[in-house]
């Protein structure tokens, strides 16, 4: 069982509100839900839509095929009618699109009766629920949770009126609701909170702003300092200051904002101060597509910063992975005293999906903070040269009589500025030795599909869901295909790929950029060349159906 509902109209007509009410109602009815959003970077006008897909089985991506279109304007019908299934339904208000194929309902007239023109979309929600024979009381509970007072009661009147406008077409049974519903930005913020992050700052930039706003919404409850700063340069520098003082700190932005952080990123490398940074990618260069998606910052993050210093880059695959990997990033940053860079994108940040609740018992906070034992004689060497490259880290003011010196200039073991050639080499070697430890930390990519496949996909980050659905469908048709989905991406793990590659006939790179950045990284680090590439860079996310079709047409 699976259905896909599109709610479309102009920005400002309330797609988000009605989509939110619908997805929460379906979740409480016990279904798996996946909601995909397509919106323009403007306050009003332009075509926007939400697609709510639901099923009795877990969902990993959106689907292009539609069962219902709820059109808030005629443009929605014109743009999406071709995607409607043969037995699909278009519903809209009486005043929209006077064509026979569309089911017209007195939605606006209903809103006039309850004296609130805004609730005509809620009447449409009632009609949609009736199509599936779902109980109205669950929707009323969602409305009461989302609104209060007269607004809630007006919306309930509207949803009841809409429920009476139409008959049941697909009688569905409700199930036990065991899941949470969450998007990628919220998952990242929750992972940071679970990891003990107590300082988050940033400058708002779509699509990363959701992390900042979620952290701010929980700041009082969780005791977190959240600061909106004047720009991204300040954001990373302030996070470094907080981390120097001993507070777990994080900042984030999207491509252009991360570009501004690059000088401060080098500072993190020089002063060996742990910090977690998330780049929620959007299409670039420059302003690009502010509200669209792409995976084109990979090479940028790996090489960002002047000079050479170790860092780790982790691509987040879905909201479940985003939570646990964000928590893990804090421990790695502190263990090696490095910046850890998380990569998300607009698609992952904005889609909402039902997943099982997080297991906070899996999150361990490992601080790696030293005490008086780090003092040798009466001296503390903040940058002591060690075999691992990691120096003992004490916090300012926590060990009596000791000062914690850091400096952006090259320095000696104590933190004093130096121009010694010998010390320069020793310090560079010390910092770069951390890479050896990092290589022991990296996790191999997830494998999905048939073991030892003839056709192997390599991909990373948020393409996971679409690739998974395509691989499972092809496996069901007897195609020997599997996929390696990279999360840890720098340093690049190569063991699993090297094991599978000798038996592979076709190695297929699937990415949302124009050049195949993962493919180039694999060539560089594993000396393996992908035989085929499926790339997309129009700002819209891959669906499982699209990858399935392109594999069939271009590769298999």
What does the pLDDT look like over 516-545, one tens digit per residue?
A: 999 999 999 999 999 999 999 999 999 999
CATH 3.40.50.970 domain extents, the chain:
181-362
Quick check: helix, strand or coil at residue 182? Answer: strand
pLDDT in tens, 188-212: 999 999 999 999 999 999 999 999 9
Instruction: Pull the structure tokens for residue 154.
Output: 């007006």
Superfamily of domain 181-362: Thiamin diphosphate (ThDP)-binding fold, Pyr/PP domains (3.40.50.970)
Instruction: Pull the structure tokens for residue 473.
Output: 């469908």
Per-residue model confidence (pLDDT) at position 221: 97
Task: Tell me the helix, strand and coil percentages in the chain, rounded to 5.
Answer: 40, 20, 40
Whole-number Cα distances in Å, 436 to 266, 312, 427: 20, 12, 15
Per-residue model confidence (pLDDT) at position 388: 98
**372 within 8 A of 201, measured Cβ to Cβ:** no
What confidence category does residue 45 fall into, taking pLDDT thresholds of 50, 70 and 90?
confident
Per-residue model confidence (pLDDT) at position 350: 97
Quick check: helix, strand or coil at residue 15? Answer: helix
pLDDT in tens, 408-460: 999 999 999 999 999 999 999 999 999 999 999 999 999 999 999 999 999 99
Per-residue model confidence (pLDDT) at position 421: 98
Instruction: Pull the structure tokens for residue 298.
Output: 């990979």
152 Cβ partners below 8 Å, 6+ apart?
A: 143, 144, 146
For residue 136, the number of C-alpha atoms closer than 13 Å in the C-beta half-sphere is 19
Using omega within 30 degrees of 0 as the cis cutoff, is the peptide bond preceding 258 cis? no
Second-level CATH architecture of 2-164: 3-Layer(aba) Sandwich (3.40)
Q: How far is CA 379 from the centre of its chain?
A: 45
Per-residue model confidence (pLDDT) at position 357: 98
Tell me: pLDDT of 244 over 90: yes
Q: Domain spanning 446-555: which CATH class is it, in words?
A: alpha beta
What confidence category does residue 499 fall into, taking pLDDT thresholds of 50, 70 and 90?
very high
Round to whole Å and give the CA distance between 477 and 206.
40
CATH 3.40.50.920 domain extents, the chain:
446-555
Round to whole Å and give the CA distance between 139 and 156.
8
Tell me: pLDDT of 99 over 80: no
Q: How far is CA 133 from the centre of its chain?
A: 33
For the chain, what is the mean pLDDT? 96
Per-residue model confidence (pLDDT) at position 14: 86
pLDDT in tens, 374-404: 999 889 999 999 999 999 999 999 999 999 9
Per-residue model confidence (pLDDT) at position 100: 65
Cβ burial of 60 (10 Å; 0-12, 13-18, 19+) is middle
């Amino acid at each position: 069982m699976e259905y896909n509902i599109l709610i479309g109209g102009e920005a400002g007509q309330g797609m988000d509100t009605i989509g939110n009410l619908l997805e929460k109602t379906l979740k409480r009815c016990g279904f798996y839900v996946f909601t995909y959003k397509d919106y323009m970077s403007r306050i009003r006008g332009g075509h926007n839509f939400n697609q709510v897909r639901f099923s009795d089985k877990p969902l990993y991506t959106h689907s292009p095929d539609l069962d219902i279109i709820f059109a808030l304007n005629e443009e929605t019908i014109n743009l999406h009618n071709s995607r409607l299934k043969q037995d699909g339904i278009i519903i809209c208000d009486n005043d929209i699109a006077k064509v026979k194929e569309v089911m017209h309902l007195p939605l606006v007239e209903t809103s006039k009766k309850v004296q609130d023109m805004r609730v005509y979309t809620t009447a449409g929600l009632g009609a949609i629920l009736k199509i599936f024979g779902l109980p109205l009381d669950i929707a009323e509970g969602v409305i009461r949770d989302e609104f209060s007072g007269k607004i809630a009661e007006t919306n309930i009147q509207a949803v009841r009126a809409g429920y009476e406008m139409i008959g049941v077409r697909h009688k569905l049974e409700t199930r036990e609701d065991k899941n949470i519903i969450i998007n990628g930005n919220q998952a990242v913020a929750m992972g940071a909170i679970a990891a003990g992050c107590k300082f988050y700052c940033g400058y708002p930039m779509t699509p990363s702003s959701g992390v900042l706003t979620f952290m701010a919404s929980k700041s009082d409850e969780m005791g977190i300092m959240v600061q909106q700063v004047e720009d991204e340069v300040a954001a990373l520098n302030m996070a470094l200051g907080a981390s120097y003082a001993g507070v777990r700190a994080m900042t984030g932005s999207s491509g252009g904002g991360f570009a501004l952080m690059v000088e401060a990123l080098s500072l993190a490398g020089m002063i060996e101060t742990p910090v977690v940074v998330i780049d929620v990618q959007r299409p670039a260069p420059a302003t690009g597509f502010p509200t669209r998606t792409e995976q084109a910052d990979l090479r940028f993050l790996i090489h960002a910063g002047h000079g050479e210093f170790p860092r780790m880059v982790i691509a987040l695959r879905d909201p479940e992975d985003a939570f646990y990997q964000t928590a893990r990033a804090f421990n790695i940053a502190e263990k090696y005293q490095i910046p850890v860079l998380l990569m998300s994108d607009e698609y992952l940040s904005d889609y909402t999906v039902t997943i099982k609740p997080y297991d906070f018992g899996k999150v361990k906070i490992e601080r790696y903070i030293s005490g008086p034992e780090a003092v040798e004689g009466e001296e503390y060497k903040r940058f002591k040269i060690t075999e691992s490259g990691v120096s003992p880290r004490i916090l300012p003011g926590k060990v009596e009589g000791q000062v914690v010196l850091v400096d952006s200039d090259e320095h000696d073991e104590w933190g004093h500025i130096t121009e010694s050639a010998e010390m320069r080499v020793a310090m560079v070697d010390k910092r770069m030795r951390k890479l050896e430890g990092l290589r022991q930390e990296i996790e191999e990519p997830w494998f999905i599909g048939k073991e030892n496949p003839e056709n192997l996909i390599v991909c990373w980050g948020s393409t996971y869901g679409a690739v998974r659905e395509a691989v499972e469908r092809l496996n069901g048709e007897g195609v020997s295909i599997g996929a390696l989905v990279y999360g840890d991406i720098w340093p690049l793990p190569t063991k699993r790929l090297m094991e599978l590659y000798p038996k592979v006939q076709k190695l297929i790179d699937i990415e949302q950029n124009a050049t195949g950045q993962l493919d180039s990284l694999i060539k560089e680090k594993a000396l393996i060349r992908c035989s085929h590439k499926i790339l997309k860079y129009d700002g819209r996310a891959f669906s499982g159906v699209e990858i399935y079709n392109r594999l069939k047409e271009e590769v298999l």
